[in-house]
Amino acid sequence: MSEDAAFEPSAALRLECGVCWRVYDPAEGDPVWQIEPGTPFAELPDDWRCPVCDAPREKFLKAQP
């Protein structure tokens, strides 16, 4: 099983950057990258990076509720 298959967050799951702790909330999207609200983390472009510290997607972890 690939790492991507093991990590498939749900559409409403909020994730936070493990470097700068910026939270990606699908309900808000990402205005820096022009990502529409309602876009799940799994549907972000492959080249998407943290808009605050430029960390890659792999550095994002499940955020505490």
**CB of 62 within 8 A of CB of 18?**
no
> What integer pLDDT is reported at residue 64 of this predicted model?
79
CA distance linking residue 35 with residue 45, whole number of Å:
9
Higher pLDDT pick, 2 / 21 = 21
pLDDT at 9: 53
Q: Which residues contact 8 (CB under 8 A, 6 or more apart)?
A: 42
| Cβ contacts of 4 within 8 Å, gap of 6 or more | none
What are the domain boundaries of the chain?
Answer: 1-65
pLDDT of the residue at 28: 97
Question: Which residues have C-beta within 8 Å of that of residue 54, sequence separation ≥ 6?
Answer: none
Average pLDDT of span 18-46: 97
Does the predicted model carry a pTM greater than 0.85? no
Fold of 1-65: Rubrerythrin, domain 2 (2.20.28)
Average predicted confidence (pLDDT) for the chain: 88
Give the whole-angstrom CA distance, residue 46 versus residue 27. 19
Question: Mean per-residue pLDDT for 3-31?
Answer: 82
